[in-house]
Amino acid sequence: MPDALPPVLPDAITDVMLAIRDLHAWYGESHVLHGVNLDIRRGEVVTLLGRNGAGKTSTLRAIMGLTGRRTGSVVFEGRETIRMSPDAIGRAGIGYCPEERGIFASLDVTENLMLPPKVREGGLDIPTIHALFPNLKERARSQGTKLSGGEQQMLAIARILRTGAPLLLLDEPTEGLAPVIVQQIGAMIREIKQRGYTVLLVEQNFRFAQTVADRHYVMEHGRVVDSVMNHEMAGSMERLHAYLGV
């Protein structure tokens, strides 16, 4: 088991938006993160790769303060957030799209979309969102959970684009979706990167990850064990296959 190495950024570390050092987290008695280190620069799309149970989802939840106890350091835009409550972290400017998408059954599509409060200026306005996701406009009065899986995923991402949060945590947005929808999601992630958002993406599917990300971290047993630049992916396939067991 390699020790948790400090992640190495390809060039000098400039404009780091999120810096995580020695992050440990627990669910009750169970210790799920064992000293995660990673950095994300403004404007990057970074993925967390790894097998089931490697700690990818737990890392996102720990960033949001949604695990039980957590220790270490999570610095977002220069502010230490390790002792903040989830709502304070959310208001600091991190948008979270959970694995199960978190669409609310008791809210209609518009209510779901409007639910997260604005945390900053500069979020997408409703016309822009409707232009990006026309289905959400057509089905505005439907119950949130009546949408298709792909539409729900769009809604889950759209609602955090609205809030102005500059960093988005997306947990497996492609899970269980048809290939054509996966392509749409890929296009959307590239689009929001264009608009200057920073994205931390959890993915099992590294072929998809390759199409959207600048960089990849690999997790194993609750630690970050490797990092790969996207353009080095081709040359690192053997290594990645070993980690991911595909």
What is the binding site for other proteins (CB under 8 A)? 64-66, 85-91, 96, 98, 102, 104-107, 111, 114-117, 119, 160, 163
CB of 120 to other proteins, least distance (A): 10
CB of 143 to other proteins, least distance (A): 12
Nearer to other proteins, 66 or 225 (CB): 66
Nearer to other proteins, 33 or 228 (CB): 33
CB of 100 to other proteins, least distance (A): 9
CB of 40 to other proteins, least distance (A): 18
3-state secondary structure of 7: coil
Nearer to other proteins, 94 or 228 (CB): 94
Nearer to other proteins, 68 or 134 (CB): 68
Q: Which residues contact 243 (CB under 8 A, 6 or more apart)?
A: 49, 50, 51, 218, 220, 225, 226
Beta strand 79-80 with 70-76 is antiparallel
Nearer to other proteins, 50 or 95 (CB): 95
Q: Residue 227 to residues 12, 35, 51, 58, 204: CA-CA distances in angstroms?
A: 16, 15, 15, 18, 15
Asked whether the beta carbons of 82 and 70 are under 8 A apart, the reply is yes
> DSSP secondary-structure letter at 15?
S
CB of 21 to other proteins, least distance (A): 22
CA angle (213, 215, 221) in 5-degree steps:
110
